[in-house]
Structure 1
Amino acid sequence: MTIKADLFFSFRSPYSYLAVGRYRDMAREYDLDITLRTVLPIAVRDPDLLFTGNPAAPRYIFMDSFRSAQMLKIPFRWPRPDPIVQDIATRDIAKDQPYIFRICRLGQATTRRGRGLEFAAEVARIIWDGSTDNWHEGDHLAGAATRAGLDFTELEAEAASDADALDAEIAGNTKALEEAGHWGVPTLVVDGEPFFGQDRVDMAKWRMEQKGLVKR
């Protein structure tokens, strides 16, 4: 029996990056179908919540994401450019956001094709692993789409022509995440049970094994 799960994911989240490749590898090895559910980063989804958080949080996230990557032996560097245009020191968010809406719409378009997990894993790598500057330019995203088995020209056209519908689907993902009992990413939801964080990958696998998860 194929186990089905939803992965709520943000292209701006370092923890999403640290989790998505491991979930993709798990889905390749096991009889597991994971649907990627792209959500907007909290910086644009609910900035009021971001600003009411503890001011120590950004420093901790920086420190913890770097050491988590080191422990997992996953290449890591803060993106250049950051998918969210924001002054990290003041936490001020720019009104103009040229990157995040584009990449989220592309992500949702790939979910429509059943290849969201593969696309997110490839794109997260070029954004976060430190091997690429200006990940949004040139053929970087096209290469990621190709590696995920997708036609980038087709994706770009759909992201532009069907933006409103894609945005509505992304908003629906946020609502589904909240209905599953969480608000953060990455969160894997299996039979209504949420597993939040890159440090819950093994626990999620353990639970799915209880439900009959087996290798392909």
Structure 2
Amino acid sequence: MAVLEIYWSFRSPYSYLATERLCAIRDDYDVEARFRPVRPLAMREPDFFERGRKQFVPYLLRDFPREAERLGLPFGLPQPDPIDMDMGSGKVAPEQPLMDRLMRLGIAAEESRKGLDFARAASRRIWTGEPWSDDKSLAEAAGEAGLDLAALESWASENETIIAEAIEANEAAQLVHHWGVPLMVLDGEPFFGQDRIDALVWRLDQRGLKRG
């Protein structure tokens, strides 16, 4: 069976835009989908937004809603932002409790092979401006993925070393191919960006992996 590795970030609007299509690929093609969440760039490279080009964020704020509208997906800015940072200066806070929790939950969900389902449910809240960070909203997201929030939290609290190792391994493996998300790697062949999903589907079809 072909292996499709999915490198994905809870803070990436483009990861959100890709998720429904990635779930469809998982369901429609003969692939083993492996959800491999990575921390946002703001955590992997804390000075990125301080030293980055000033056009980056304004362009993203124009492009993301346009792409969401084109794809027929709801959109809105996160309330709250999963990353604690000063948007004016680009300075990122040293502690990131919201993202740390999301990463724990995402990796815990993947232990049940439902990481992508949890990512879909959570990002649908994050990137449409809905409440997402409270226990009730996260429990609802977990429930939509066929999971139980309390069980996820319990597993995460008992497996902190496994989670830390998974994050480190995911980020190291991601960098073999690219630094951005969403990044899809089909048996070692990378496809970067939600705008390369059509190319991924083309390759899957070329290889005859569509389920009958």
Instruction: Indicate the TM-score class for this superposition, using the shorter chain for normalisation.
Output: over 0.9
Give CA-to-partner distance per residue, 1:90-127, whole Å, 9 cap, x none: 21112231200110111011112211111111111111
Q: Which runs of 5+ in 1 are unaligned?
A: none
Task: Look up the match of 1:163.
Answer: 160
For the 8 Å contact 2:23–2:116, the answer to whether it is kept is: yes
Structure 1 residue 67: deviation in Å? 0.7
Task: Look up the match of 2:51.
Answer: 52
Rounded to whole Å, the distance in 2 between the matches of 1:46 and 1:82 is 17
Give CA-to-partner distance per residue, 1:139-192, whole Å, 9 cap, x none: 11111111111122110112223223202211110001112x211000000111
TM-score w.r.t. length of structure 1: 0.93
Rounded to whole Å, the distance in 1 between the matches of 2:157 and 2:57 is 32
For the 8 Å contact 1:27–1:33, the answer to whether it is kept is: yes
1:142 aligned onto 2:139: yes
Rounded to whole Å, the distance in 1 between the matches of 2:165 and 2:138 is 23
Rounded to whole Å, the distance in 2 between the matches of 1:138 and 1:158 is 16
Give the partner amino acid of 2:126. Answer: I
Structure 1 residue 206: deviation in Å? 0.6
Query: What is the root-mean-square deviation of aligned Cα atoms in Å?
Result: 1.4
Q: Which runs of 5+ in 2 are unaligned?
A: none
SS of equivalent to 2:168: helix
**1:75-114 paired onto structure 2 within 5 Å:** 75-114=74-113
Among 161, 169, 176, the residue aligned to 1:172: 169
TM-score w.r.t. length of structure 2: 0.94
Rounded to whole Å, the distance in 2 between the matches of 1:123 and 1:56 is 28
SS of equivalent to 1:208: helix
SS of equivalent to 1:40: coil
How many residue pairs get aligned? The number is 212
1:198 aligned onto 2:194: yes
For the 8 Å contact 1:77–1:128, the answer to whether it is kept is: yes
Rounded to whole Å, the distance in 2 between the matches of 1:90 and 1:63 is 20
Rounded to whole Å, the distance in 1 between the matches of 2:172 and 2:35 is 14
Structure 1 residue 30: deviation in Å? 2.7
Task: Look up the match of 2:15.
Answer: 16
Give the partner amino acid of 1:112. Answer: E
